[in-house]
Amino acid sequence: MGKNGYLPLFETRPARGLVFFRSYAASIFIGICFICFHRVSYFPVTERWVWVGMFVAELWFSFYFFITVIVKWNPVFRSTFKDRLSSRYEEEELPGVDIFVCTADPRLEPPTMVVSTVLSVMAYDYPPHKLSVYLSDDGCSDLTFYALLEASVFAQLWLPFCRKLKVEPTSPEAYFQTTPEPVDDAFMANEWLIIKKTYEDMKIRIESMTRLGKVPADIRKEHKGFDEWDFVVSRHDHPSILQILIDGRGPNAIDIEGKALPTLVYLAREKRPQIHHNFKAGALNALIRISSRISNAPFVLNVDCDMHSNNSKAIRDALCFFLDEENGREIGYVQYPQTFGNLTKNEIYGSLRVVMKLELAGFDGNGGPCYIGTGCVHRRESLCRMKYSKELVVEWKAMKYDRKIIEKASSIEGNCKALASCTYEENTPWGKEMGVKYGCVVEDILTGICIQSRGWRSVFLTPQREAFLGMVPTTLLDTLVQHKRWAEGDFQIFLSKLCPFVYGCQNMPLKLQLSYCIYLLWVPNCFATLYYVFVPSFCLLKGISLFPKISSSWGIPYLYVIVVHRVHSLVEFVWLGGTVRGWLNEQRMWMFKRTTSYFFAAIDNILKLCGFSKSAFIITGKVADDDVNRRYKQESMEFGTSSPMFTALATLALFNLFGLVVVGTNKAINDDARIKVFDIFGFQILLCCVLVFVNLPIYQGMFFRKDSGKIPASVTLRSIAFALLASTLAMY
């Protein structure tokens, strides 16, 4: 019970097994001390720079392990009491919520997927007239507008159906794919079939229009909104387009049962070729301004267009934090984990499982999770540069609408277009002190840091039923490029004046500032990892030992740290719901990202510092052809195209394979020689074996696969040439 005698709306509990984790971390720390002592005490007379390089790499790994321990030292998990929220607040007393959905390209983000996400958030278990859904279309596509228009009609059937059957998930696409027809009630079964048929018909119409590439003239005449496209030159050159498809304030905004519908708004902000539009951050800021004029709800949920609602009570969960009488006032945002619905059983390209289920909970224990750009409910004031103070009193209770329109929708549309113009933000605080931050490709992390630096707390919530389900990339290249963008932006923040150690030093606890380093320092990880992947094999070919002998007791700390660290990683991954093969795939992707994504991100950051490059926002594709999807479901790694990243991966894989083959054929001639070589170079040989095992999909893609997803011959030939050149230099 709270200080004032009321029951709290949420509770916080520490993670289990902390004694085990802390004991493990302490033992690893002791092992690291022994390794450092060995490196300093047994400094070689010759080849000292190679030894120094190994020591520096190990010091970096030790530092990063220290940061990881800080993040995982005190994770907390939260749960809510929605029944107390319902008993404390009547439906009409609950605050309004604005929901932002962002899309940017109908070719990469199909309109059917976008409207399924929109319908899923419209169907929340929440008073519908308190919901306002805004779709930002940065592609300015009349195809997306047509799809949203179709969805606004289908919502009149879908929302009553969701209420009646308590549908979960509320995305029609996901629901009809995962839920069988009800058989115990003939009436409901018939209604189920009708709704499914209606949805499939709508989907066919949208997909047909998408394949056609344009909206026919006869359909354009059915809604005045299509007239706006008469002034569109291209997706990068057009005026603001704002259409209120459902005006939730009006008496006509009702479904087939006469219940209110949420407000539904389409926005394509103005773009001109000569003016930078700031990507997703610019779209979100335009939505913040537009929504403040139309609905002005005190709380804002933003989701990506591929991340549909999977839990219809997610908004009520979030409000349990904001409306808590004792601690709610200090909370700036509630972050849900990013989870995915299209993962394979063994998560071939990784899944961010540990990040989303444990590390963000560790952030919460250290002061609050970072903002990850989707699945987050914000307090509007926290986005509008307001600083938190204990004296701050925010009036969140929304106005009770009497269903009479104060201002006509057409009038609002005309008046609000200026708020989405490309020149509106000139000489204003938008993007700097107000709204989502500009100047970084990971605007979400940067915005979260700024909110926390103004004194607001954030909380992390993992409900029993996942709040949202998104889509992971289905090819290796898409995954690596996505992580390159994240790593590049994170390191850019670390080098800027908005680094947590500078900008957040007054209001962010030190442990939270350090926690951010686990992501902000992804880029420097590449150098230590590349050194460990390349140099031990290079020195193996030259006959230079970099580790203690197998027979030496100094090998025990190395063996202990490596084995125990990896075993703990495996136990942690499986405890969080993964599989052993999934963990192996996670380790593989860990190495692939560090040797390619983070390395190329480092190059881009250097080029930016020298003024030779600018930030670019790359949209991850949400569609793939049938062959790619089939191979993804079979967990066959997808290469298929030529990329410098694949050349780097294949070169490193072949170099380690050549090193192992050369040592096996030239050194181990007889038993005595084999024993002597393994005693001196045992750790390097074992490291080389591990790297060859990790790279098995690379070898398969180069030499054994015949499908279109194999590594292109040009990449294979280049990689063989580079690996042979490196091997020759090492041997001669």
- The active-site residue out of 142, 247, 444, 604 is 444
Write the DSSP symbol of residue 73.
S
H or E segment to which residue 512 belongs: helix 510-520
- The active-site residue out of 98, 125, 137, 138 is 138
3-state secondary structure 123-171: CCCCCHHHEEEEEEECCCCHHHHHHHHHHHHHHHHHHHHHHHHCCCCCC
Cβ pair 52, 8 in contact under 8 A = no
Q: Which residues pair with 377 in a beta bridge?
A: 301, 334
DSSP state string for 167-186? -SS--HHHHHHH-PPP-S-H
CA 460 to chain centre: 15
Write the DSSP symbol of residue 407.
S
Cβ pair 9, 84 in contact under 8 A = yes
Burial of 113 (0-12, 13-18, 19+ CB in 10 A): buried
Is 185 annotated as a binding-site member?
no
Is 271 annotated as a binding-site member?
no
For 444-479, b where at least 16 C-beta lie within 10 A, e where not — what string? bbbbbbbbbbbbbbbbbbbbeebbbbbbbbbbbbbb
- Angstrom distance (rounded) from CA 29 to CA 137: 50
Is 109 annotated as a binding-site member?
yes
Cβ pair 186, 150 in contact under 8 A = no
- Angstrom distance (rounded) from CA 53 to CA 725: 22
Tokens of 32: 């690291």
Backbone phi and psi for residue 433, each to the nearest 5 degrees, phi listed first: -110, -15
Tokens of 500: 């947590």
Nearest one of 363, 360, 355 to 515, comparing CA atoms: 363
Nearest one of 536, 477, 522, 462 to 690, comparing CA atoms: 536
- The residue count for the chain: 732
From residue 713, give the alpha-carbon distance in Å to each of 474, 632, 705, 719, 720.
22, 21, 11, 10, 10
From residue 372, give the alpha-carbon distance in Å to each of 255, 304, 368, 490.
34, 11, 12, 12
Cβ pair 122, 87 in contact under 8 A = no
Burial of 16 (0-12, 13-18, 19+ CB in 10 A): exposed
Instruction: Assess whether 444 carries a catalytic annotation.
Output: yes
Tokens of 54: 């190994």
Radius of gyration of the chain from its Cα atoms, rounded to whole angstroms:
28
- Angstrom distance (rounded) from CA 174 to CA 341: 9
Nearest one of 335, 338, 337, 333 to 378, comparing CA atoms: 333
Cβ pair 597, 480 in contact under 8 A = yes
Q: Tell me if the bond preceding 169 is cis, omega within 30° of 0.
A: yes
Is 138 annotated as a binding-site member?
yes
DSSP state string for 417-467? GGGGSTTTTTTSSBTTTBSSPPSSS-HHHHHHHHHHHTT-EEEE---SS-S
Q: Tell me if the bond preceding 712 is cis, omega within 30° of 0.
A: no
End-to-end Cα separation, the chain, in angstroms: 75
Other beta carbons within 10 Å of 19: 8
Cβ pair 528, 714 in contact under 8 A = no
Cβ pair 336, 461 in contact under 8 A = yes
The type of residue at 258 is G
The binding site comprises 109, 138, 280, 304
Q: Which active-site residues does the annotation give?
A: 138, 444
Annotated binding-site members for UDP-alpha-D-glucose: 109, 138
